[in-house]
Amino acid sequence: MARFLIFIAVCTAIYFLWAHIQKISKRPVSSEPKQDIEPMVKCNYCQVYTTKKSSIKGNDGQWYCCLTHEQQVGK
């Protein structure tokens, strides 16, 4: 009977240990926010650096911070 109780206790301990490991593995590795490095491009008109995503590529292949500057150079 004592052996059976020890067996149950060991099983319970293994179960809680396994549940604990599952909980840890589901947690994100680092709590730091992701640092996405955006490529920067220089405006051909005002020389201001802006992210490539928010920039406009002109017909001349140059980058511009806004449509106005792209049109200014084109004139």
Please identify, using beta-carbon distances, which residue of 12 and 68 lies nearer to Zn ion.
68
Q: How far is the CB of 17 from Zn ion (least distance, A)?
A: 60
3-state secondary structure of 23: helix
Q: How far is the CB of 37 from Zn ion (least distance, A)?
A: 22
Please identify, using beta-carbon distances, which residue of 31 and 44 lies nearer to Zn ion.
44
Q: How far is the CB of 50 from Zn ion (least distance, A)?
A: 8
CA gap 28, 42 in Å, rounded: 36
What residues make contact with Zn ion under the rule CB under 5 A? 43, 45-46, 65, 69
Q: Which residues pair with 64 in a beta bridge?
A: 56
- Cβ atoms of residues 66 and 56 within 8 Å: yes
Q: Which residues pair with 49 in a beta bridge?
A: 42
